[in-house]
Amino acid sequence: MPSQLPPSPGGRRALKTYLRQRKDHGREDNLKPERSGDGELTMTDQIGSDRPALITQAANAFTVRHRMHSRSVAALMTSLSHDPSSIRLNDSFNAGIEEVRRNRLFVGDAPPLLQSTKGVTSQPTARKPVQVRQRTRFNLATSMWAGRAATGNSRDYYDTPSSLKKVFEPEWSLACRARQGFIQKLIVKAGQPEWQSGADDNGNGIDDEVDQVGSVLLEHSRIIWAAYDYYACSGISATNSTSIDAEHEIHNVCFNGFLMFVRDAKLASGECPTRTLELIFSQVDAHDESLEKEDRHNRGRMLNRQEWLQCLVRIALERYVRPKKIADISDAIQVLCHEDLRGRLPVQAIQDSNHFRAQCCYTEQMELVIQRHRNTLQALYGRYSDLADGSKDVVVLDPTNMMSVGEWMAMLSHLGLFESGQCTKFEGKLVFSWSRLRAVVDGSDRSVMRARNLFFHDFVEAMIRLSTLCALPTDDDLAETGAEDAGVYLIALAVHAPSQFRSFIQERRGDLTKRPRQAAWRSVHHLLTYVARLVEMNSSGTKDMSISAERATQFMMRRASGRDLVLDGSGSRPATAINISMGDSSMESTFANALRTVRERTLASLAKVPAFARLAPYQLTQLLDRMEYAPFEAGEHVFEQGDSGFTLYAVLSGTAKVVRLDEQTGEQKTLAILGEGDCFGELALLRHEARFATVKATSKLRTLSITRQSFESIIGSLEDAFKEQTAGYAAAPSQSHLLNHSQSAPALT
């Protein structure tokens, strides 16, 4: 404060006195907290110009701090709703709540209104804080995904606990009523001695032991349905043919799929041999007249969802209760789900689609890409959703405005993805299955159709998943070869260097359970440009890289008639449509050299990162193979302060600045300038916190990112790797304080 101010008797005391004075004048309501448009508490601005400048400044600072803390807690709350068992998320959430609780309106010096003005010739002028215009953050409710919550199966963007409960309850009710309540009788009979038959303490008309079993199954419903979907896609119920006319059954578990489940979970044992498990399948699958009307879409020689639940209960009985390994049936099912399913099934069989949606679909960058290619996506979805006569769906439950699995598989086949090796039929079915939000099936045709088909937003998610699986070039690959886009690159590679094309696919194909090789929003952009090129070359019209419904129809009709996919310009489009600058050498060697050059250059840039400098060449190669390539244009945000942090980044080229919003003044401060060889984002991983600051590209920025799990599986402890860096901020600020850092200081992100 300026020297002419008299000594302050205490900021808090002065503020309380001032508020008491206003209350005496009947104006206490003017400082009541209000809710802003986004639901956050702010300080009202009803007080007139007589409010002291210091109180105004303190109220503004309080609002800034509260808004930042509450947004961080809201983001963590959303993450916890999808993974409530996460220790890291719970710890971060509790810490965030503590920050909100500790936030106070604080005035450092006495307000001028309460100071004695005797002998003072001029009023002090408080320093006006720099007003930072906050950009609008990405919001799902106003994005292209908003329609998913409005019309989708779960009325949300995710499979929420409440939606899973709604899916489970009718299925469990059917399972309990099947065969005049046979499964209920088994549960009651297998109950502990103290349980009395017919005990119904809660008065719901169902035996309490049956209720307990249902509660355990509901607790594990996410993994139960994940396993069901996986083995429904795994079994082959009709033919081993690779033809598109093969049966695409993904809605029920056939006998082969059930045996795969038994094998993967290692359920067969001396007390519970394979023949017993096969008998369970046969008995549960047998025709049940008591549910003939309610469960009329149930197919013979296959398990639907309520029969899957019956099988799990009976397997737990045979595996644990009858051999007297576990006395209580509820405990037996708990062990079956936790140890046998979660502990032994393949990663793909227990995956959670919500993780992919949060990390790859619901981002600002993805929103921009999808909007750019929206016409192409809508044209493909609209045309192939009306292909019921061209597919071989098992049950005729295929509305013309939704996409069935047969129509999805037909589209992938028409694009040549199966033939080229970009995708297998099994992977194609998994992508379809994982992209659906779970739906309640009440037995009606409408509920079954909604559960079995893709809405438009589900289709968009499926295309994003597909893009992370396919072998696609990076921006560096395109720049090295001079290719205009990924479509030009892949078509030229397939036509002029087929051997290198096959090698490229083998080396670059992704894995549905691992992070993609490049950022998902770049992958889907490259895939859709490839799709647009294919459709353009196999239809007539203007070359504009935006597929219309008419062109999609031409393409579909051409491929459905059995005509080959044109890649070399011999069709309706001239060969000059694909032009790539490759020099005078052969295409095979030129592509190989270009790929090798890009990889060597990337490895050299990665070796400049201090944390990786001591790695052996083979470790550096392993690290690169697990990292995700992500380029950003100048002005784009890599991440923002308060975002959840899952990865750390290494800068290959370009520059970025690290900025943080000062909680006390509302000012933005630049903490560091990043360049080639710098690493950032490690603080969020080390501390399991939200991002401490915002990182914004100031030029064209090329980065590689990696998760903590992948990093430590190759290099070892993250703390050890960043020991020198973390020593520089041993007393680094928490979420509620800010220290000044020079540009050479570590970037706290």
Q: Is residue 221 in a domain?
A: yes
Average pLDDT over residues 201-223: 85
Q: Is the Cβ–Cβ distance between 320 and 326 less than 8 Å?
A: yes
Q: Is the pLDDT of residue 554 over 90?
A: yes
Domain assignment present for residue 381? The answer is no
61 and 175 share a domain?
A: no
CATH number at residue 227: 1.10.238.10
Q: How far apart are CA 520 and CA 112, in angstroms?
A: 55
167 and 124 assigned to the same domain: no
Same domain, 315 and 215: yes
Choose one of 319, 351, 383: the last residue of a domain: 351
Comparing 408 with 92, the larger pLDDT belongs to 408
Contact, 527 vs 470, CB < 8 A?
yes
Provide the terminal-to-terminal Cα distance of the chain, rounded to the nearest Å.
33
Neighbour order of strands in the sheet with 701-707? 628-632, 701-707, 647-653, 679-680
Other beta carbons within 10 angstroms of residue 622's beta carbon come to 16
Both 194 and 321 in one domain: the answer is yes
For residues 329 and 192, what is the distance between their CA atoms, to the nearest angstrom? 8
Phi and psi at residue 490, to the nearest 5°:
-70, -40
**Degrees (nearest 5) of the Cα angle 484, 637, 672?**
120
Say yes or no: 172 and 112 in one domain: no
The 3-state DSSP class for residue 34 equals strand
Q: What pLDDT is stored for residue 107 in this prediction?
A: 53
* Residue 431 within any structural domain of the chain: no
- For residues 96 and 189, membership in a common domain is answered with no
Buried b (16+ CB within 10 A) or exposed e, 334-349: bbbbeebbbeebeebb
Are residues 97 and 243 both part of a single domain? no
Residues 258 and 345 in one domain: yes
pLDDT of 126 > 60? The answer is: no
List pLDDT tens digits, range 617-646: 998 999 999 999 999 999 999 998 888 888
Q: Decide if 631 contacts 700 (C-beta within 8 A).
A: yes
What pTM did the predictor assign?
0.77
Q: Do residues 195 and 82 both lie within one domain?
A: no
Cross-strand partners of 650? 679, 704
Tokens 């047969």 locate to 406
Q: Which of 317, 351, 385 is the endpoint of a domain?
A: 351
Beta bridge partners of 454: 403
77 phi, psi to nearest 5 deg: -65, -40
Which one, of 613, 563, 578, 387, lies nearest residue 495 by Cα?
A: 578
Residue identified by tokens 């996409």 is: 403
If you average pLDDT over residues 326-352, what whole number do you get? 94
The answer as to whether 145 is a domain residue is: no
Task: Choose the most confident range, by mean pLDDT, from 315-319, 395-399, 582-586.
Answer: 315-319
Please report whether residue 486 resides in a domain.
Answer: no
- Give the C-alpha separation, 366 to 517, whole Å: 16
Strands of 93-216, DSSP E: none
Residue that is last in its domain, among 289, 324, 351: 351
**112 and 199 assigned to the same domain:** no
For the chain, the domain total comes to 3
Q: What is the rounded distance in angstroms from the CA atom of residue 420 to the CA atom of residue 416? A: 6
Q: How, if at all, do strands 656-661 and 668-674 pair?
A: antiparallel
If asked whether residues 250 and 293 sit together in one domain, one would say yes
**CATH number where 685 lies:** 2.60.120.10
Task: Mention every residue, 6+ apart, whose C-beta is less than 8 A from residue 410.
Answer: 244, 384, 387, 390, 391, 560
pLDDT at 87: 58
DSSP string, 432-484: HHHTSPP----SSHHHHHHHHSB-HHHHHHHHHHHHHHS----HHHHHHHT-S
720/615 Cα distance (integer angstroms):
13
- 264 falls within a domain: yes
Tens digits of per-residue pLDDT, 216-227? 999 999 999 999
- Residue 170, domain member (yes or no): yes
| Tokens, residue 486 | 């990924």
Based on the number of CB atoms within 10 Å of its own CB, is 561 exposed (0-12), middle (13-18) or buried (19 or more)? exposed
pLDDT digits (tens, 9 = 90+) for 135-189: 667 889 999 999 998 888 888 999 999 999 999 999 999 999 999 899 999 998 8
CA distance 670 to 695: 10
CA angle, 472 then 478 then 484, to 5°: 105
**Residue 358, token pair as written in the block:** 């949060």
Q: Do 200 and 272 share a domain, yes or no?
A: yes
> pLDDT by residue (tens digit) across 730-745?
444 443 333 333 333 4
Domain that holds residue 329: 159-351
Is residue 612 very low, low, confident or very high in pLDDT (cuts 50, 70, 90)?
confident
Question: What is the DSSP annotation of 695-707?
Answer: EEESS-EEEEEEE
Q: Does 571 fall in a domain?
A: no
